[in-house]
Structure formats: C-alpha cells, structure tokens
Chain A
Amino acid sequence: MKLEVNNLEKNYGKKEVLKDISFTFEEGKIYGLLGRNGAGKTTFFNALNNDIPIDQGSFYLEDEYGKRKLETKDIGYVVSTPVVPEFLTGREFLKFYLDINKEKIKDLKGIDEYFDLVKLKREDQDILLKEYSHGMKNKIQILVNVISNPKIILLDEPLTSLDIVVQEEMKKLLLSLKQNHIIIFSTHILELATDLCDEIVVLSNKNLELIEKKDLNSNKYKEKIIEILKEEEEND
C-alpha cells in the first residue's frame, strides 16, 4: 500500500505554506515529520484529512486492488489538542465508537481489552471525559483512531503532553500497529523521531524532504537533520 501526494499546494492569502509537494509514503513504516514552528506540518495533515481546501494537488491510495483517490474514511487523525465529547464517559464513548464502526473493525475485541491497550485505569473508565486530564483524553483519542483500523494514521504531536511512562506505552502501541498501516507522526522532539520512526521527513522550504540515513550513525544523522532545518532560516 502506498499513499501518493501529488503537487500539493496550499497558500494562506499570499503566504505560500506548502509548495508543489510530491511524495510517496509506504506501508509498514512510521514516518517522522519534522519541521520548524509554523513550517506547515498541521496544514499538511489538515490538507490530507480534507479539513481545509487546498489550492492544488491530489492524493491517491494504491493497494492490492489498484489505485484510487484518497478518502477521509482511510484516515485516522489524532490532533495535537485532544477534543472528545465531554458529556460521555470513557466507556460510553468507546462503546458508541465500537457500535458504529463494528463493520470496519476486523477482530472486534471487548471494551475492557481496548482500555487495556492504552492502560486506562478501571476507575477512570466510568467518569465523564470532561474530567479527564489532557493525557487521558489523548489516550482515548489515539485509541479510537486506531481501533477503526484506518489505512493511514496521522498523529500531530501526540506524545508531547504525555508522561514518560505513557509515552513508552504509546510508542509500543504505534510500533505494533505499523504493519498494514502508513503512520505519519509529527513532532518537535528529534530524539523521539529518530528513536521511533523508520523514516524522517523534513518539511522545510514549503516542501517535504526525505532524510536518508545510509551509513550515518545516530549523532551524524541528527546533525544532518538539524542542518536541513536551519537552512530554512537562512533561506528566509
């Protein structure tokens, strides 16, 4: 399975944010999307998820059945600030989500098993989502976005607000999911990206650039990424 981005362009007024981006993402990999503040990472995700109109470009999904236009149902999008329906409890939200997506879910598990997946404590499962902490809301958001088994999972800064124990749990979860999925993960934390991701893609100068690791050791690799990110400042 491949996700093709062709000639994507997005401007805000006269300001160009994404310029003629063409890139192919492949199944079975976690892509780390790095970029300076305001580089356009969230805009790129919003464009893929059809949340904002784009000025030019197209997205295709190619799998064993052929190539077709990307649809929003192919995507699970975990936004940086989790928003969940606050009038439901964690359990009610999960039950509702499972009910309406049960046809899409391949091996449907029980609600408790899903909670175990993100290690949400028993006592927290039956309180209103309104009372959840930021990290707990994030867990729920990641959970519902992975259980419906979308082909592509977009994660916008998902681990930044989580404590280190939960971060490790989430990393394991994402690693377990990468087969049969394309995961694109945006972050500001270089160590997290190099540690977790199979490929690093830098959004710099309004375009995507894959950073080849080849024979570089991890320090040299990081230096190379920082150099590329710095270039943008010089070009500006």
Chain B
Amino acid sequence: MINALGKTLQIDIAYSVNSFLYVLRKLPILKDLMTEDIYKSKTLKKVVGIIGILFSMARAIFLKFMYFFVILFICYRMFPDNVVRSFFHIYFVLTLLGMFINNKLLNTSKKKYFSLLVFQMDATSFFRANLFWNLFTSTIMNTICIFLFVNIFLVSPSIIYTPILILYTLMVRLTGEALNILYLRKYNYIWYSNSALYFPILILHLAACFLPLIDVLIPFRIMLIATVIFSITGTLSFMYLMKIKDYKLIYKRLSQMTNVMDSKNEKDYLKQAMVDVTEKDKVIDKKIIEKKEGYDFFNTIFFERHKEILLRSAKKYSWVLGIIYIVVAYLMWKYTKYNESATNFLQLHLSCFVMIMFFINRGAIITQAMFFNCDHAMLRFNFYREPKIILELFKKRLQTVVKVNLLPALVIGIGNSILYSLSNTPISITTHITTFLFIICLSIFFSVHYLVIYYLLQPFNKEMEVKKASYSFVTLGTYLISYFLVDFVLSAEILSVLGILFVIIYIPLALTLVYKIAPRTFKLN
C-alpha cells in the first residue's frame, strides 16, 4: 500500500510539474528562454517538484485555515453574544454536510484516471492508499486548526472539545465515504449528481447553520452522543471500505459517467448544464421567427432557446423582488420604526443596489452560453469572423440583454418609488426621479459591461474555463467595487447623479472600444 501511495504521489508530482512547465512555456518572456528540452532536465523537475509540493501543502493549509476562519468570522459578526457555542454549532453542521458532499474516494480526477486506467495500478491498494493519505493529512490539519481556533482564538472553556471534534470529524468523513459508495453501488449514480437530493440537503444544512439566530444551538451532549454514534458507524464504514475489492470497476463506471478526460471534473459538467438548452426551450413558437432572416433570425432563436437562463430567470427575480417590496411596503405602512429604517436605508445606503444589480444581472451567464452553445462553433466559420458581422451581432445581442435585464430593474425602480411615497419623511421629486434613473442605469451598465468584456477579452476555452487572467481580474474588480460600495454612505440624490454620470461616460467609451478592437479580439483561443 505504501508502494501504491508512493507511485500515486509520483504520478501526481510528474503531472503537476509537467503541467507547470507547460504553462511556463506559454508565458511571454519565458517562452523564448525555454525550449522543449526543459522536460528532460531532472534537476529542474526536482526543484519544480519540491516547490509544487510545498505550494500544494501551503494551499491546503491555507484553505483549511480559511474554512475555520470564515466560521469564526460569521460567529463574531452574526452571533457576538454566543461565539463559542455558535462556532461549535456551525462546525458540527458543516461537518455533517461534508459527509454528504465532500467525497474524496468517489471524485474523479486526472490523477486517478492516469493511475488506474492508463498506468493500470492495482485499484484496491490505490484506493486504500488514497483513503489513508487523505484521512491522515486532513486529520493532522484539522487537529492543528481545531486546537488553534478552539483553544486559542476562542479560549474554549474546556480542553475536552478538541479531541471530541477531531474524532467526530474523522468518523463522519469515514461514514460519508462508505455511504456514498454504498449508494453508488445500489443506484448506479453518485447521490449528489441528483439535484432533487442534493439541493434540499444542502439548503437544510446551510439553514441549520443559522439556527443560533433564533437561539437554537445544538447542545454539547448531543454532539457527544453524535460522536459516539459516528464512532460506531465510522468503524463499520472503515471495515467496509477495507473489504471492497472492485474499486476499479467502481472507478470505470464513475469515469464513464463524468467522462473525465473530456471535461476535467464534474464542475465543468455543472457549468455546461447551467447553459444547456432546456427541454422546454427546444420548441419555439414558429410565429416568432417566421418573418426573420439572417442574423436577426439567428439571434432571435439564440435567445428563445436560452429563455430559461435569461428571460425566465429575469422574471423569477422580478417576482421575488416584487414580493419583497410588497412586504416592505406593508411593514412601512403599518409600523413607524420600519418606516424610518426603510427611508433611512433608501436615502443613505442606495449604493447597496450596486451589489444587488451585480447579482441579478444575467450578463455573465448569458455570455457563457453565447460562447459555449454558439460562438465556439460559429467562430470557426470565416463569414462569422468578418468585422462587420461581429459588430452587427454584438449590437443585436446588446439590445436583447439590456431589454431583459431591465425587467427586474424596473421592479426595483418602481418599488423604490413606492417606498418613497409611503415614507413619513417627505421625499423630493428630484430624489424620486434620480433614484429611478440610477437603478435603470445600473442595469444597463452591467448588461453592457459583461458583453463588452466578453467581446474584448473572449476568455473561454471549449471547456468553458476562463483562460485569461485579465478577464478574471476585471470581473473580480467589478465584484470588489460592488462589494465595497455596500458600506458606502452617501445621500441618494448625490449618489444617483454620480452613478448616472459614470454610466453615461462608461457606455460610449466601452462601445467605442468594442467597435475598434472587438473584430481583432473576438476569436477562439
């Protein structure tokens, strides 16, 4: 087994080293310095290998640390009166969720594919080695983090919590691994690929994390009982996992299911499924396209077939927003304190709507659908790459995306005006108008922004991975700016005028850039 572990690690390191060197050879200056001979250099590979191991260790430690840190942060932010107990509560619930969704044995990866199906390693030793390695490394990291966070940061009242949490985590993991394999063998699929099971469990657990909000916390004795129960199931699971002989068969079935070599992991499948044409959208009303021709015809069908991710989802958002506004309006009308806080929010924290508009805008997902279902094929045709055509289609797409995104924006704009009218504080007509225009401008801004960066940077490859750092940088920047604006206090009128001015300047600039550069940049990578 130790031999198998050594071999897997070797394959893993060789794969990472060669991939790393491959990436290095694509970088602007380095590519001229490096020849293909670098793959032969043993010293270089050793150095890169060691750096790689250190880097992946640091990454794993960092992620684990962040996981604990985020829980602690939430506890401090949301439950300041009960940090210690709410920390245990959330950790307990999330570990339980991990039992269902954080599966190491059944996830497919290139490493497993190479080891088992290409290098034909003995599957039983391979899986056992992997199981031990995963449990060993995660237990060490959990021990460090639990000790650090529970005993030092939280100054927990008793040292007893640490070993119990470590044991609980380990046993829950073992139980989860075994249960998932049992499920796969019985039903022939991984349970979490079934969204009817996955989402309720996910939502239930996440909701349970926030029970401290209504003063419901899992008592320590329940955690203790759970640890005892999971110790039994964990031990039985371990025995079961050790008994399994047909790991290779299980893996073959899995890799067929997820087709690992075509699409690195299930995440890609999920991404692709997100932009898939749904059954409902396959049939479109003939009347809509009857009189259309050429690119108009093409564009209309594209949006008709993607109604689910664009129009229907914009409608869903509009309904939800509408209901929220009705509830808030009712509360404002009925209670003075809500009337005051809602007025105050609208007058001083209007910048929060930047973040809201960021989330409800369908620009990001629709550009992914454009690429994956359309442009990645069409850009191979010479006629589709002609500058005139690129710009003509850009215009048509922009009109549709702007129109669809305006629907929830109108609900927000009108909703805000209604709330203003219900306010006990008199609101000027200028504020009404500027606030409304601000929301509309925000919506147009996000629609334009996503389409413009898609045309200027075209970041996707055929697996829908983002392959351009500049694109990630711009989207992250957009998110961060929206995020920081949440805490920005400024009068609604001034913020609206500034926002409108920004959009008025941004849009012509962005469109000019597209008209000048997109014919060169909008291409396959």
Contact = CB atoms under 8 A, between A and B. Distances in A.
A128 B282 contact: yes
Given A87-B305, A87-B306, A128-B282, A99 B377 contact: no
Contacts of B385: 72
Given A72-B382, A73-B382, A86 B373 contact: yes
Interface in B1-60: 25, 31, 35-36
Contact of B383 (A13, A73, A87): A73
Contacts of B25: 13
Contacts of A79: 380
Interface string B260-300: 00000000000000000100001000000100011101100
Majority secondary structure, B binding face:
helix
B92 interface: no
B374 interface: yes
Contact of B374 (A15, A49, A72, A85): A85
Contacts of B182: none
Interface string A101-115: 100000000000000
Contacts of B205: none
B298 A130 contact: no
Interface string B480-523: 00000000000000000000000000000000000000000000
Interface string B287-325: 001000111011001100110000000000000000000
A15 B36 contact: yes
Contacts, number: 57
Contact of B293 (A85, A86, A99): A99
B295 A84 contact: no
Interface in B366-380: 373-374, 376-378, 380
14 contacts: A72-B385, A75-B382, A79-B380, A85-B378, A86-B373, A87-B302, A87-B306, A88-B301, A88-B305, A92-B289, A92-B297, A96-B295, A99-B293, A99-B294
A-B pairs with lowest CB-CB distance, top 9: A83-B377, A72-B382, A99-B294, A87-B305, A87-B373, A85-B377, A96-B298, A99-B293, A100-B294
Given A96-B294, A100-B294, 12 more contacts: A13-B25, A13-B35, A73-B382, A83-B377, A84-B377, A85-B373, A85-B377, A87-B277, A95-B297, A96-B297, A96-B298, A101-B383
Interface of A: 13-15, 49, 72-73, 75, 77, 79, 83-88, 92, 95-96, 99-101, 128, 130, 144, 148
